[in-house]
Structure 1
Amino acid sequence: MERPELPLPQLHAFVVLAEELHFGHAAARLGIAQPPLSQQIRRLEDKVGHPLFGRGPGHVALTPAGRELLPAARRALADLAGGLAAARAVGDGRAGRLRIGFSASLALTVLPDLLRTHRERFPGVHLDIQEMTTAPQITALREKAIDIGLLREPAAEAGLRFRTVLREPFVAVLPAAHPLAARRSVPLADMADSPFVLLPRAVGPHLHDQIIALCAEAGFTPRVAQRAVEWQTVCALVETGLGVSLAPASIRRIRLKGVAFRRVDPGAARTRVAVAWRENDPNPLVAHLLTTISPDPPEKRQD
């Protein structure tokens, strides 16, 4: 026959009495009168089916059954205390797991400082970092597969919130032997005759469309020779001479001997980096991470 679970208040009373071996002292420590303490112990003994204490005039001692129960009772109380502390820490946003998606190029800009600052302020929070491009991040946020996204040129999306954290100029990405690489800055129109290496539109629709629009303003439609999902791959393909590209300025931190990065004229266009999260997300870890990100800081000259 299955025995009923042991109530934690009765276990607490049992442990205190086992430590004090005196009903008066144990009752005082528990902040109750002796009769309620005796009732708690009696109920516990009824559930166990055996006496837990031997009682005599001025004498209380654990029985063999009591000695057997004591370690388990202490573990149960310790587990409860630990569970309560852990629950409070998660509820306060001081512990738990936060899932962050990020576009690969942001490992060159906002991500390192963000992670460093967050670790210093919330050392008990585990950050699960997942590299993914913009479109998959939007999907992952909607499906609750990640909690925070760091992405480029996001479009407005129902149910999601966005905060701009950085605006970057574009640079021309050229093979080092390309004639335009000899210049300090490159008029975008002068890139019209070169084949382009671009990201697929599906991985970052708005950034892709922004690049196409900039070329259109310069009077041409880029002739795409190759596509690559990551900017590092784009640069590697440019190095081989497959084409040129237009990329956010932070891409210059990818060091390849055969690639030249040059300012683009006109240089007014900027690509936007944003943090994204679900609207009305009750997770305190999300709110705390947002406090570590400065919104739309003043632009720094990157050329």
Structure 2
Amino acid sequence: MDRPELPLPQLHAFAVLAEELHFGHAAARLGIAQPPLSQQIRRLEERVGHPLFRREPGRVTLTPAGRELLPAARRALADLAAGLSAARAVGEGRAGWLRIGFAASLALTILPGLLRAFRDGAPGVQLDIREMTTAPQLVALHDGAIDVGLLREPPADEPGLAFRTVLDEPFVAVLPSHHPLTARRTVPVAELAGSPFVLLPRAVGPGLHDRITGLCAEAGFMPEVAQHAVEWGTVCGLVGAGLGVSLAPAGIRRIRLKTVAFRPIEPGDARTRVAVAWRGSDQNPLVARLLTTIAGET
């Protein structure tokens, strides 16, 4: 059995007439002529199966059926107005949910300011922030688990995804505080040859892993990895414990450990790329708003 279409225009006409109790006044308020208003009311009464108004010379009153319908009609109209307002806010990028993946090291650099700027411009948007390394972010973007990613060393070509560079960050050497190279103002990468390394596993961040090993290869050696760690805080902790040295984005210097020292490296023009990533076909207005915010903050 087909469900009858909800007669919202008729409910609106009914609610206004119930307030005015005068066809002429109600028609003027609705911006229509009196005959179309009368037709709307008669159609609604046919749908209900009972009169909703008593029509007497010079006055209109609600019937018991009309009094029963009026609260439901007002709720339906209020729900519609609220739904339209909410849909408009989402369509304009002022409300809704936005899921953002981010590389942990960005919490030490651009992420706090970016989130603050976005929330200032769209306080009605709910943010779901997820700390993720690069490879899981790419999977999550393809699967629709996140809407935007902030990641390091994105792949050169990833079908279905779009990328925009937001930061080129220099590298630093991460050294135990007692390491002889801490006496240097800058550390040539070649001087790290022969030292054990603490590195992120390639599986979680292949681009950054290859960038670091590539710097070592350009300096004439391949790093001997003594320990892997997924988080930069763990990398620094293991370096501070004397398990090795590392190369890291410069923002890692904000991790304060007495057992760890950071030094700029040579070549000084070595950089790691941070990019924002999103599904190229995504029409989500919140993604567009975030991209605009990023462009204004970087």
Relative distance call for 1:163 and 1:28 in structure 2 (3 A) is same
Relative distance call for 1:169 and 1:54 in structure 2 (3 A) is same
Q: Are 1:122 and 2:125 matched, yes or no?
A: no
Identity value in percent? 78
SS of the aligned residue for 2:295 comes to coil
Q: How does 1:184-223 map to 2 (within 5 A)?
A: 184-223=185-224
**Bigger Cα displacement from structure 2, 199-208 vs 51-60:** 51-60
Q: Which amino acid aligns with 2:270?
A: A
Displacement, 1:94? 2.0
Q: Are 1:66 and 2:66 matched, yes or no?
A: yes
Displacement, 1:2? 9.0
Displacement, 1:33? 2.1
1:33 corresponding residue in structure 2: 33
1:8 corresponding residue in structure 2: 8
Structure 1 unmatched ranges of 5 or more: 298-303
Counterpart Cα distance in 2 of 1:76 and 1:296: 43
1:44 corresponding residue in structure 2: 44
Q: Which amino acid aligns with 1:237?
A: L
- Cα displacement string for residues 101-146 of structure 1 (whole angstroms, at most 9, x for unaligned residues): 1000011111111111111122222222111000111111122221
1:245 corresponding residue in structure 2: 246
Counterpart Cα distance in 2 of 1:153 and 1:5: 53
Q: Are 1:108 and 2:101 matched, yes or no?
A: no
Counterpart Cα distance in 2 of 1:227 and 1:2: 63
1:98 corresponding residue in structure 2: 98
2:260 corresponding residue in structure 1: 259
SS of the aligned residue for 2:13 comes to helix
Q: Are 1:287 and 2:288 matched, yes or no?
A: yes
Counterpart Cα distance in 1 of 2:30 and 2:168: 61
- TM-score, normalised to structure 2, is 0.94
Counterpart Cα distance in 1 of 2:86 and 2:2: 31
Structure 2 unmatched ranges of 5 or more: none
Contact (CA 8 Å) 1:165, 1:295: kept in 2 or not? no
Relative distance call for 1:296 and 1:166 in structure 2 (3 A) is farther
**Bigger Cα displacement from structure 2, 133-142 vs 41-50:** 41-50
SS of the aligned residue for 1:137 comes to helix
Displacement, 1:5? 4.8
- TM-score, normalised to structure 1, is 0.93
Q: Which amino acid aligns with 1:167?
A: D
SS of the aligned residue for 1:201 comes to coil
Contact (CA 8 Å) 1:4, 1:47: kept in 2 or not? no
Q: How does 1:148-227 map to 2 (within 5 A)?
A: 148-156=148-156, 157-227=158-228
Q: Which amino acid aligns with 1:240?
A: A
SS of the aligned residue for 1:206 comes to helix
Q: Which amino acid aligns with 1:11?
A: L
SS of the aligned residue for 2:61 comes to strand
Counterpart Cα distance in 1 of 2:34 and 2:222: 89
Counterpart Cα distance in 2 of 1:276 and 1:19: 54
Counterpart Cα distance in 2 of 1:114 and 1:3: 48
SS of the aligned residue for 1:292 comes to helix
Counterpart Cα distance in 1 of 2:266 and 2:35: 88
Contact (CA 8 Å) 1:164, 1:295: kept in 2 or not? no
**Bigger Cα displacement from structure 2, 278-287 vs 240-249:** 278-287
2:272 corresponding residue in structure 1: 271
- Cα displacement string for residues 138-178 of structure 1 (whole angstroms, at most 9, x for unaligned residues): 11112222111100001121222111111111111111122
Q: Are 1:144 and 2:169 matched, yes or no?
A: no
1:301 corresponding residue in structure 2: none
Counterpart Cα distance in 2 of 1:24 and 1:144: 54
Contact (CA 8 Å) 2:114, 2:297: kept in 1 or not? no
Contact (CA 8 Å) 1:6, 1:44: kept in 2 or not? no
SS of the aligned residue for 1:247 comes to strand
SS of the aligned residue for 1:203 comes to coil
SS of the aligned residue for 2:294 comes to coil
